Amino acid sequence: DTEVTQTPKHLVMGMTNKKSLKCEQHMGHRAMYWYKQKAKKPPELMFVYSYEKLSINESVPSRFSPECPNSSLLNLHLHALQPEDSALYLCASSRKPAFDRASTYEQYFGPGTRLTVT
Amino acid sequence: AQTVTQSQPEMSVQEAETVTLSCTYDTSESDYYLFWYKQPPSRQMILVIRQEAYKQQNATENRFSVNFQKAAKSFSLKISDSQLGDAAMYFCAYPLFVGANSKLTFGKGITLSVRP
């Protein structure tokens, strides 16, 4: 099973709302990632979790708050978003965090959550 | 700085023909991996092929193969016998190491259309 699932598929929220995105994998992967992707653009890394600990935060605004409750689950909590935050949010996982070239593992992506902020 | 460049924003190919998507990268490393990812419209991104820089042999996965020129820092993807399902956005990617972690650096992507 090489599946990463994400819920919901679509989300429309107002600028004052609080919502959460969920990502799940059951492949035993120990690195998980959140990306933001605008139309016709490459994904932009937001956060990396390694062994359930936040290891990379790409200077993401605090209105995005990640959480990794266990090794299979990754959440992204959203609060007071702006219309420019509308995008496709992708979750990905890899077998392990790669700390050297000999241990680079490919990332498996979920289908994404299409977020619209009104 | 490590960068990945895909200079062709769009390409088109006739069904059953062969097409080559270009990618160049810049790195000071000698040993690394390179990836091609495919993202069909409204569908999830999947790994197409990966190349290990220390291997001389070009990677091949069924109809997909790479032309890896390490000295030229070029990593092209060749799609043979193109099918309608190959229509997608293709991203070349290089893993950049930051401390004890890695993050993928993507090219801008290329949109491939397949003409029936």
Mean pLDDT of chain A: 91
Do the chains contact at A43 and B89, CB–CB below 8 Å? no
Measured between beta carbons, which residues in chain A are less than 8 angstroms from residue B89? Answer: 40
Q: Is the pLDDT of residue B2 over 70?
A: no
Contact B95 A40 (CB under 8 A): no
What is the C-alpha to C-alpha distance for residues B58 and B52, in angstroms, rounded to an integer?
A: 9
User: With contacts defined as CB-CB under 8 Å, which chain A residues touch B31?
Assistant: 101-102
Report whether pLDDT(B54) > 90.
Answer: no
Average pLDDT of the residues in B22-28:
91
Residue B14 at interface with chain A, using a CB cutoff of 8 Å: no
What distance in Å separates residue B107's CA from the closest CA in chain A? 7
- What's the confidence (pLDDT) of residue A103? 58
- A100 — pLDDT class (breaks 50, 70, 90): low
Three-state secondary-structure class, residue B1: coil
Does pLDDT of B53 surpass 90?
A: no
Q: What is the pLDDT of residue A95?
A: 84
pLDDT at B101: 72
State the pLDDT at residue B51: 92
Measured between CB atoms, does A36 come within 8 Å of chain B? no
Percent of chain B residues past pLDDT 90, beyond the cut: 72
Q: Closest Cα of chain B to A90: distance in Å?
A: 9
- pLDDT above 90 for B103: no
Residue A25 has pLDDT above 70, yes or no: yes
